[in-house]
Amino acid sequence: MADPFSILNVLGPYREPHEPALSYDYSIQRPSWPTAHAVRIKVSLAAELDYLKTTVLGLSGGTPGQQLRINQLLTKRIADRKLQIANEEGMFSQRLDVKIDPFTGPFAHLFARLETWMQENKAALREEVRQAVGL
């Protein structure tokens, strides 16, 4: 069951040291909490970003600047969706600072939900990329 929450702030993307991932830091507030807490969402470059970019959307080419903008746009969308999935799974229902790793390894069972979202939003994501960078 998903509990309501508000996103107060989002920072990132940050390059994760020692692993091929980007991360976003969310400041989350629930109505019953006196103060907000942090949720760090990691997006795997190979398993999540490249899968969306090449397999689902079929994007290729572009200048280095266009590729950077595409990566920023898509990792943010992936992180936003992973936050929703994590909320539905009750992964940050307690008032603790939480880290959500890539949906591989121990979290691989959640990748199917992320992939379903990717397929359902394929056209909207392509249009967003087209408007942002012209590809």
How many CB atoms are closer than 10 A to CB 11?
12
Strands (E), 6-59: 6-15, 21-29, 37-44
pLDDT of residue 3: 82
In this prediction the pTM is 0.94
Handedness of CA 107, 82, 5, 15 (dihedral sign): positive
R_g over Cα of the chain? 15
The residue among 72, 75, 11 whose CA lies nearest residue 43 is: 75
pLDDT of residue 97: 79
Tell me if residue 37 falls in helix, strand or coil: strand
Report the DSSP beta bridge partners of residue 110.
none
pLDDT tens digits for the chain (135 residues)?
568 999 999 999 999 999 999 999 999 998 988 889 999 999 999 999 999 999 999 998 889 999 999 999 999 999 999 999 999 998 888 777 799 999 999 999 999 999 999 999 999 999 999 999 987
